[in-house]
Structure 1
């Protein structure tokens, strides 16, 4: 659900960071419906919704508002803004009169986020995936870019949603970028990348993942 705090604006969940219960803006069901529609328009099928997307993934914000209203009578541009501003995962960004998804695209876009500065990055995978990745590298599957984590722990937790025995691949990002692999920082947790050759990858040893015992 989305609520509004008089002091801190829109937030998700029961309480704002300040402890305020806030005022309900959108219930859980409608938040999910709006989220799926916006994700479709900004990540997967903009043309099907009548949205014109430029090469960097931007679409007209007002037009997106018209689209959501045409699909849901209760929806509005203000609710789209509320959804974006309350999203702790920072999936989307608004710049002036434009909006875009920051990551997760299946459509062909050329994102222009800042260059990654972390020397090491991490990718969570199943045991079978890890074996294959160490042989052929990490390639985008259903998405335009490979999504990497800034910490091994985060990569491991992401992989737990797909497998009961997660493995963590360590990426020598500094060497890969020096060789010409494009990597961009999306937010504090996510870096996106083009295909990463296997020579920059190694399997993180179990002894280096002590935090997983606390999960």
Structure 2
């Protein structure tokens, strides 16, 4: 659910960090409905909805509101902005009268986030996926870019959603970027990348994943 605290603004969940129960804007069901439609508009099928998108993934916010309202009459501009602005995973951003998804696209976009500065990055996979990846590299599957984690712990956590036997692949990001692979920082947790050749990859030992000095 999405609520508004009179002191701290938008938040998700029952209570703001200050303890306020806040004003309810969207319950869980409507947050889910609106979230799925906005994700489709900004990541996957804007053209099917008559929503023009530029090469960087930006769309007109007013046009997005019109498209959404045509399917959910209760979803006005305030609620759409609340959904986008309160997203804890920083999936979206608004600049002026434009809005876009920051990552997760299946449509062909050329994003322009800051260049990655971390020397090492991490990718979570199943045991079977890891064996294959070490042979052929990491390629985008259903998304435009490969999504990497900034710590091995985060990569492990991501992989647990897909497999009960996760593996973490370490990426020599510095060497990959020096060779011409484009990597961009999306958030403190996520870096997106073009295809990463196998020569920059290595499997991590399980006992090393949770070491504090990584």
Q: Same fold (TM over 0.5)?
A: yes
Report the Cα distance in structure 2 between the residues aligned to 1:141 and 1:210, rounded to whole angstroms. 27
Shift of 1:209: 2.2
Matched with 2:77 is 77
Shift of 1:20: 1.1
Count of paired positions:
211
Shift of 1:17: 1.4
Matched with 1:8 is 8
Matched with 1:135 is 135
Report the Cα distance in structure 1 between the residues aligned to 2:7 and 2:50, rounded to whole angstroms. 36
Report if the CA contact (8 A) 2:3-2:23 is conserved: yes
Matched, 1:58 2:58: yes
Q: How does 1:108-123 map to 2 (within 5 A)?
A: 108-123=108-123
* Alignment TM-score, normalising by the size of structure 2: 0.97
Report if the CA contact (8 A) 2:2-2:24 is conserved: yes
Matched, 1:90 2:90: yes
Shift of 1:156: 0.3
3-state SS of 1:71 partner: coil
List per-residue Cα deviations over 1:135-182 (Å, max 9, x = no partner).
000000000000000000000000000000000000000000000000
Report the Cα distance in structure 1 between the residues aligned to 2:135 and 2:7, rounded to whole angstroms. 52
5+ residue gaps, structure 2: none
Matched with 1:37 is 37
3-state SS of 1:143 partner: coil
Shift of 1:210: 3.8
3-state SS of 2:168 partner: strand
* Alignment TM-score, normalising by the size of structure 1: 0.97
